[in-house]
Amino acid sequence: MLFKQIDLTIDTSKKLEIIDITSKINDLIDIEEGIISVFSKHSTSAIVVNENENGLLDDFEFILKQLVSDKFTYNHDKIDNNASSHLKSFLLGSSECLPIKNYKLDLGTWQSIFFIELDGPRNNRTITLSLIGV
């Protein structure tokens, strides 16, 4: 049994940005079978699994902006003016645990892993990959 942790860093260029990190993760997998935890170390970002289709990604951005609007003043804004980013992260979550098979992510046909930037642009966003397997 092997346990390994790898940090993946990402730079973002927009306030809200959806970045497919599936191939970056597959390039780092060096175990035949097991599980991987994909965890964002930032409270204004998220990790999600879904389909990488442009219309769907546009719809996802639209609905996030509707669910947690920037037009309101939130209590946390008194500290650093990014409450809406934190609230969106609460709704989406910071990690996913996924199977590995044949040295790659064992995803469904249309599934991809996304890093969601909610408070960008930012440099050196860290995603920790924890691999357990053989």
Flag whether the pTM goes above 0.85: yes
Q: Which domains does the chain have, with CATH numbers?
A: 2-133 (2.60.120.460)
Alpha-carbon torsion angle 18, 87, 37, 48, nearest 10 = -40
The residues, any chain, with a CB within 8 Å of residue 27's CB and separated by 6 or more, are none
Task: State the pairing for strand pair 17-20/45-51.
Answer: unpaired
Amino acid at 81: N
* Tens-binned pLDDT, residue by residue, of the chain (134 aa): 899 999 999 999 999 999 999 999 999 999 999 999 999 999 999 999 999 999 999 999 999 999 999 889 999 999 999 999 999 999 999 999 999 999 999 999 999 999 999 999 999 999 999 999 99
Burial (CB < 10 A; 0-12, 13-18, 19+), residue 92, is middle
User: Contact, 50 vs 124, CB < 8 A?
Assistant: no
